[in-house]
């Protein structure tokens, strides 16, 4: 908590708290005795995904937490049933987060206390200690952060940021119930008093009180080794709630049932969802033990899945948020940009995709961007404005002559690293060797079964790698910034860093797309990466189920939109 300096702001609070006399009935949309069983590879380890954002926790949070909206194909989609987010001042940059009328599953309303608690968590007030027992934020530069103002009805907060931020619509959430945190931190039984105690601790910057809240925030919501979690820690503000957590030795199972108190725009239709271990061959069990499963497309499972398609099972293939790319080390043989451009222009991405994808050719979508994904509106702008097609995406009239003009002798060897355990990378490498030879390049097989170790060792000239499509300015800098911790090529550009800084403070979606294209153009000019194709994920859906629309990307790709799921009569 030492990485944050707190500036108190006056607040007026009226906490709306009501206890229902009886348990609400299930939504009328729920069809009794219906169940959908999902083959799941996640693990539910914490009911506070803000403190522990592991994939399994994010999957569950998508079903049991309401929020102001979600990113879908790179665009923010608001959930007006939860509330609204509005910029109320440009200078200073101030955003109002205004709740509609959501309630927790114990019928305690969500209000400003819940939003303030979520804001404080995101601001670093409750950062956990690292493995050495030191404050994880101790070395961070203190950030002067004004405590948000709460409106008189305590259903909204207004946050004044030091500067505009691109992620303003999702910067505040309500990941855990403030009245539960207040009760556990301070022993306060009355929900109103518990909420007020949380507010006072944050407003006053009371380190002792904040330490107690931090202990609850980081530890109490963790699922025990026995799979147990107290009922108050499993309260839900989303369409479903956790009914049970179990482990039969083959893996963890989580049962979800409709939340009777949910007041969202779309209420659940199915009476129970069972997330169960996927097993070794989930595609073979859809229609029997499972109704839904997500798998990586491989040669081994293509025939099974093709047969399911012939029997009218739905097979939905969308990208998983990562892309395949051919990336260069801008040293050695590729020190000069002309040499890098000559090599990349000699390699048609379609040839690598065709050989790498094999029997799953239709599942791989080609791409021309390292920073955006096909299907998003941002991609259309980036693809048009980055200059990739002219600079690197159009084959040279004479690839051998272009190589010679770059000062590279015929037969020059290029050590290419790839993951020998990956079907796509192995196939793409074979194609790379063939097309590069036509232009006079000699490809050396530097493939490795321990890809990450070989990548870190750096004894390669080019690499066929699968990398995440960055979703935030921070992730762009990690991959492409001057000090990027996840940089593969080591390419740096002060102009790129400046553009990312500008992008991070852009609140207009159209301006943001234009800036993203400019950032992409700096990568194109560096000639260090050839985007190949998006990596697919296949969702197999039983004929007895409808309404499932998997989301692209990493975050909750299957459980997004779970309220729409239903069993076919």
Q: Are residues 503 and 377 in the same domain?
A: yes
Q: Are residues 208 and 341 in the same domain?
A: no
Within-domain flag for 495: yes
Q: What is the pLDDT of residues 139-195, one digit of tens each?
A: 344 345 799 999 867 699 999 999 999 999 999 999 999 999 999 999 999 999 999
Within-domain flag for 106: yes
Look at the chain and report how many structural domains it folds into: 2
Q: Are residues 26 and 127 in the same domain?
A: yes
The string of DSSP letters for 24-51 reads PPPPTT-EEEEEEEEEE-----BS-TTT
Q: What is the pLDDT of residues 269-317, one digit of tens each?
A: 999 999 999 999 999 999 999 999 999 999 999 999 999 999 999 999 9
Cα–Cα distances (Å) from 320 to 73, 75, 276, 294, in that order, read 11, 16, 21, 11
The 3-state DSSP class for residue 392 equals: helix
Within-domain flag for 216: yes
Smallest CA-to-CA distance from 368 within 552, 535, 532, 536 is with 532
Task: Report whether the peptide linkage leading into residue 32 is cis, meaning its omega lies within 30 degrees of zero.
Answer: no
| 469 neighbors 322 (Cβ within 8 angstroms) | yes
| pLDDT score at 227 | 85
Cα–Cα distances (Å) from 451 to 209, 325, 380, 422, in that order, read 47, 15, 32, 10
Within-domain flag for 464: yes
Q: What is the pLDDT of residues 431-464, one digit of tens each?
A: 999 999 999 999 999 999 999 999 999 999 999 9
Q: Are residues 226 and 330 in the same domain?
A: no
Q: Are residues 206 and 330 in the same domain?
A: no
Among 233, 262, 282, residue at a domain's last position: 233
Q: Can you give the residue range of the structural domain that contains 120?
A: 4-30+48-233
Q: Are residues 214 and 342 in the same domain?
A: no
Within-domain flag for 92: yes
Q: Specify the CATH number for the domain of residue 167.
A: 3.90.76.10
Q: Are residues 226 and 353 in the same domain?
A: no
**Placement of tokens 């909206």 in the chain:** 69
Among 169, 202, 233, residue at a domain's last position: 233
Q: Are residues 77 and 174 in the same domain?
A: yes
Q: What is the DSSP letter of 231?
A: G
Burial class (CB in 10 A: 0-12, 13-18, 19+), 481: buried
pLDDT band at 223 (very low <50, low <70, confident <90, very high): very high
Within-domain flag for 395: yes
Residue 477 and residue 361: Cα distance in Å, rounded? 32
Q: Which of left, alpha, beta for 269 (phi over 0: left; psi -120 to 50: alpha)? A: alpha
Q: Are residues 188 and 65 in the same domain?
A: yes
Among 233, 260, 291, residue at a domain's last position: 233
Q: Are residues 327 and 224 in the same domain?
A: no
**Placement of tokens 């989609």 in the chain:** 77
Q: Are residues 202 and 345 in the same domain?
A: no
Within-domain flag for 299: no
The pTM score is: 0.92
| pLDDT score at 73 | 84
Within-domain flag for 274: no
Q: Specify the CATH number for the domain of residue 347.
A: 3.10.105.10
């Amino acid at each position: 908590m030492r990485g944050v300096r707190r500036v108190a702001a006056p607040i007026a609070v009226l906490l709306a708290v009501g206890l229902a006399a009886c348990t609400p009935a299930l939504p009328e949309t729920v069809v009794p005795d219906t169940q959908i069983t999902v083959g799941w590879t996640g693990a539910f380890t914490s009911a506070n995904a803000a403190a522990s954002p592991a994939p399994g926790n994010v999957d569950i949070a998508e079903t049991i937490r309401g929020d102001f909206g979600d990113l879908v194909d790179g665009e923010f989609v608001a959930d007006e049933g939860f509330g609204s987010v509005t910029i109320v001042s440009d200078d200073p940059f101030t955003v109002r987060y205004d709740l509609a009328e959501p309630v927790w599953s114990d019928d305690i309303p969500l209000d400003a206390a819940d939003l303030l608690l979520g804001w404080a968590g995101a601001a670093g007030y409750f950062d956990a200690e690292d493995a050495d027992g030191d404050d994880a934020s101790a070395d961070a530069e203190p950030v002067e952060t004004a405590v948000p103002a709460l409106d008189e009805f305590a259903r909204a907060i207004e946050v004044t940021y030091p500067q505009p931020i691109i992620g303003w619509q999702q910067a505040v959430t309500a990941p855990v119930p403030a009245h539960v945190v207040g009760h556990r931190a301070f022993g306060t039984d009355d929900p109103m008093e518990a909420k007020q105690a949380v507010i006072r601790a944050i407003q006053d910057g009371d380190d002792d009180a904040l330490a107690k809240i931090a202990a609850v925030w980081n530890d109490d919501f963790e699922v025990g080794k026995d799979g147990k979690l107290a009922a108050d820690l499993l309260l839900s503000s989303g369409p479903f709630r956790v009914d049970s957590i179990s482990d039969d030795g083959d893996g963890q199972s989580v049962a979800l049932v409709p939340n009777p108190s949910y007041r969202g725009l779309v209420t659940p239709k199915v009476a129970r969802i069972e997330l169960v271990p996927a097993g070794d061959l989930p595609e073979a069990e859809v229609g029997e033990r499972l109704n839904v499963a997500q798998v990586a497309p491989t040669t081994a499972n293509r025939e099974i899945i093709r047969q399911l398609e012939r029997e009218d099972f739905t097979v939905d293939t969308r990208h998983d948020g990562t892309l395949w790319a051919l990336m260069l080390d801008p040293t050695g043989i590729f020190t000069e940009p002309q040499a890098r451009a000559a090599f990349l222009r000699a390699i048609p991405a379609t040839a690598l995709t065709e050989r790498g994808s094999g029997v799953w050719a239709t599942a791989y979508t080609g791409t021309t961007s390292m920073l955006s994904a096909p299907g998003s509106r941002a991609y259309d702008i980036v693809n048009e404005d980055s200059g990739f097609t002219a600079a690197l995406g159009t084959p040279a009239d004479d690839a051998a002559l272009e190589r010679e003009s770059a000062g590279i002798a015929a037969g020059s060897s290029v050590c290419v690293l790839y993951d020998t355990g990956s079907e796509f990378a192995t196939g793409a490498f074979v194609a790379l060797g063939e097309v590069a030879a036509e232009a006079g390049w000699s490809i050396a097989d530097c493939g490795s079964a321990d890809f990450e170790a070989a990548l870190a060792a750096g004894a390669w000239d080019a690499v066929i790698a699968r990398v995440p499509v960055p979703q935030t300015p921070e992730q762009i800098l990690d991959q492409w910034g001057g000090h990027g911790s996840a940089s593969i090529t080591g390419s740096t550009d002060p102009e790129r860093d400046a553009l990312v800084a500008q992008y991070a403070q852009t609140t207009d979606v159209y301006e943001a797309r234009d800036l993203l294209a400019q950032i992409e153009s700096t990568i194109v000019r560096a000639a260090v990466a050839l985007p190949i194709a998006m990596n697919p994920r296949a969702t197999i859906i039983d004929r007895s189920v409808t309404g499932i629309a998997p989301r692209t990307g990493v975050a909750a790709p299957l459980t997004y939109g779970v309220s729409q799921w239903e069993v076919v009569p």
